[in-house]
Structure 1
């Protein structure tokens, strides 16, 4: 039995389609107007983008959305825009029913739950806080994003284990991405690859997990 479970979001707890067909287009459409309406809040983000790629930072950010770039400035700005959408009721965060049931069961059993996603911590809290199943944030003990490190590098998982205060071997990581699973395994975490299409993963749903 793991002492803690660390989960990815996109393709793991939540539908990839929700992210690509709802969240990304919502942010893309509203990005220029949001930046114009919030100059003080977005100025540091735009400066980081311009430092990474010279040119119009808004155009760069729009292209990064189209490329699904895992860049911290983009993820931070997307989270700020999505906050408006969640609070206005434009959408709710999609969470698979099997994931909701398992997360509640694990929490009740005393297993600490954490999230590691390329989306910002703020965006993660919004998704779980405004989910189809209601506010799920009380189930979680902490959140990690790309400010901790890249999801495909073992050092990130070592850092997470240190922050949690557990030996990596006592943590189970769940993801739909083989490269992330490999990185977590290299850091000595327990891992399960989920493939909701029933392919070559270790599990198809959270209901397949004995913990």
Structure 2
């Protein structure tokens, strides 16, 4: 059972969004190609879905500006611009993404006190989402991941998938990802490899 997970392909992370990733919209045609030609049995998508005034937003910390380091729930936290606020256009999936083909949508980041990069659980591992249980119930044996941003949400999602889905092959399709910083991407690639995540190209994803 082969599944595709589209991570946070939302307006907020694409050009013009509140937390835009450079060239972020380039992942959309890759995702649509995978949806059409990848032979996936299950297609899932995660969606950042923050309440207004989320604790990770720099705007709620008078002494912070976006991308400063701060603290949330007693742990170091990047202070982000307000982004993907619930029921805003910024939180919507990219309009060109074939979201009608998606079988399951997992929202995340709803707790204002803890950030949630991973589609599987919050950053402090206090609470899990329903995604792991859903994939287990479906009998998924291979999970391919693509989306935004490679050095944050894709990275945490892939590493958590390796831990929380024992026996499942986890692969990240590099053409379908974009990152925020070069250093962050290099660190993410190293961490994912160490965790046993396979880093593959688009051709491999479609032909396997």
How high is the TM-score relative to the length of structure 1? Answer: 0.45
Q: Indicate the structure with greater strand content.
A: 2
Q: Indicate the structure with greater helix content.
A: 1
